[in-house]
Amino acid sequence: MNAKADLDTANQENAMALCTAILNGSVKAVELLVNTNCDVDKSMTDGCTPLYMETFKSNVEQVELLLEAKGDVGKPWKDGSTLLYRATLNCNVKAVELLLNAQCVVHKPMSDGCCPTFRAAVDQKFDSLKLLIEHGGHINQQTNDTATPLIQASYEGSMEAVRFLVDAKAELNTLRGMTQLELAQQQGHQAVVSVLQQ
């Protein structure tokens, strides 16, 4: 029992040390802890894992180290968001690429149905969006309220997003009986209306 308790304590301390090293941007410390077989999937009290924490930052070397240590790329946070979703949200294009190459699931949505492709399109993060599409991301995937990226972008007046999606052959759809064009007209987004009418 004592040996097991000591091991559990050591594992917890190493996991805490790993998270601290990530927050401090210490690649050498992360590498050292990974090489001592530290549990790279150990969750903190808020459910955040080292890999999940790293998607909030921009240190590609640390992401690579955690992936090489077989960090779980499919483990969601408590709000249902995945590593790929967070990397997309934070405009961490290199992390998006690394996660996709590590076979991260492209289509996994959050509890509201919002997936990485939807987020990248609506937020006009086109470098990430191109990568997601290349790896099978659906530009027509709907949220729980049936909004597609094109519908949402049209409603919000995101002209560049609308242009990108139209060029990518996104399907026309309706939301509560209204088309993308009607939503854009209703909101007074004339530039978007012009793109949709082309």
The pTM is what? Answer: 0.78
Residues 127 and 150 in one domain: no
Nearest Cα neighbor of 38 from 13, 59, 20 is 13
Residues 99 and 133 in one domain: yes
Residue for token digits 């959050």? 110
Q: Return all residues near 47 (Cβ < 8 A) that are at least 6 apart.
A: 77, 78
In a domain, 103, yes or no: yes
Q: What's 154's domain CATH number?
A: 1.25.40.20
In a domain, 190, yes or no: yes
In a domain, 18, yes or no: no
Query: Lowest mean pLDDT: which of 68-72, 161-165, 173-177, 191-195?
Result: 68-72
Strand partners, 179: 174
In a domain, 2, yes or no: no
Residues 186 and 137 in one domain: no
In a domain, 137, yes or no: yes
Burial classification of residue 186, based on how many CB atoms lie within 10 Å of its CB (0-12 exposed, 13-18 middle, 19 or more buried): exposed
Residues 137 and 81 in one domain: yes
In a domain, 62, yes or no: no
In a domain, 133, yes or no: yes
Q: Are 93 and 123 in contact (CB under 8 A)?
A: no
User: Number of structural domains, the chain?
Assistant: 2
**Domain ends where: 141, 162, 185?**
141
Domain that includes residue 114, residue range: 73-141
> Percent of the chain, pLDDT > 70?
88
More confident residue, 162 or 69: 162
Span 69-78, pLDDT tens digits: 887 777 777 7
Residues 158 and 136 in one domain: no
